[in-house]
Chain A
Amino acid sequence: DTGVSQNPRHKITKRGQNVTFRCDPISEHNRLYWYRQTLGQGPEFLTYFQNEAQLEKSRLLSDRFSAERPKGSFSTLEIQRTEQGDSAMYLCASSFSRTTGSAFTETQYFGPGTRLLVL
């Protein structure tokens, strides 16, 4: 399977616990994105990487959230001290971009998502 994969697919945790999600992008893609989607809403941008560099973080990404892409391949998204408001679907996407400007950005391919429920 050469698509984007995410693990785990589902996570239930208690408020205050830390959770970590993993995303494996399509192998030749140099860009990796994280989004959050709540019920009835479209996905909202959280952050993205070009290779191993984190280029932008949304204001939605509070200090409790951290994302890494250490070797420019897979990425992890960690949420510390989870709150009930963190319950959402966390989506990862990857793409190949020839430049840092989006003029040549190609289609983003999305993974199946990780559904988080904070009790």
Chain B
Amino acid sequence: KQEVTQIPAALSVPEGENLVLNCSFTDSAIYNLQWFRQDPGKGLTSLLLIQSSQREQTSGRLNASLDKSSGRSTLYIAASQPGDSATYLCAAYLRDDKIIFGKGTRLHILP
């Protein structure tokens, strides 16, 4: 059974620091890996989608990597800002068309 784990569950860092959020999955037979942002009480905003044949994607200050063989993905945020404070979720697309989400990492950027 596919499980997606995100570590840490919560993280507080001073503004301006670079940081890495981790996501691991138990079954390497995934298609895509997607990172989302969720603000309190809101829906999900897609940040980056890494397709199966890719190893990383970049958008602005965000970079996501995917290593299927080790069952890991990381989201790197450069030069963090208070507006980056949110919950970050990773989601693994399975071959049976389902998506399995992790529980998320609650990020707080300290001004």
Contacts and interface: CB of A to CB of B under 8 A. Distances in A.
Interface of A: 4, 6, 33, 40-45, 48, 55-56, 89, 91, 93, 97, 100-103, 105-113, 115
Interface stretch (B38-46, B69-77, B78-86): B38-46
Contacts, number: 64
Interface in B52-98: 52, 89, 91, 93-98
B54 to A, nearest CB: 13
- Highest count of chain B CB atoms <10 Å: which of A4, A42, A48: A42
B97 A56 contact: yes
Given A102-B31, A105-B32, A91 B44 contact: yes
Given A102-B95, A102-B97, A109 B104 contact: no
10 contacts: A4-B43, A33-B99, A102-B31, A102-B95, A103-B31, A108-B46, A109-B46, A110-B45, A111-B43, A113-B43
B107 interface: no
B6 to A, nearest CB: 8
B34 interface: yes
B46 A100 contact: no
Given A44-B101, A45-B98, A56-B98, A105 B93 contact: yes
A41 B93 CA distance: 18
B42 A112 contact: yes
Nearest to A97: B97
A112 B94 CA distance: 24
B11 to A, nearest CB: 15
Contacts of A91: 43-44
A43 B101 contact: yes
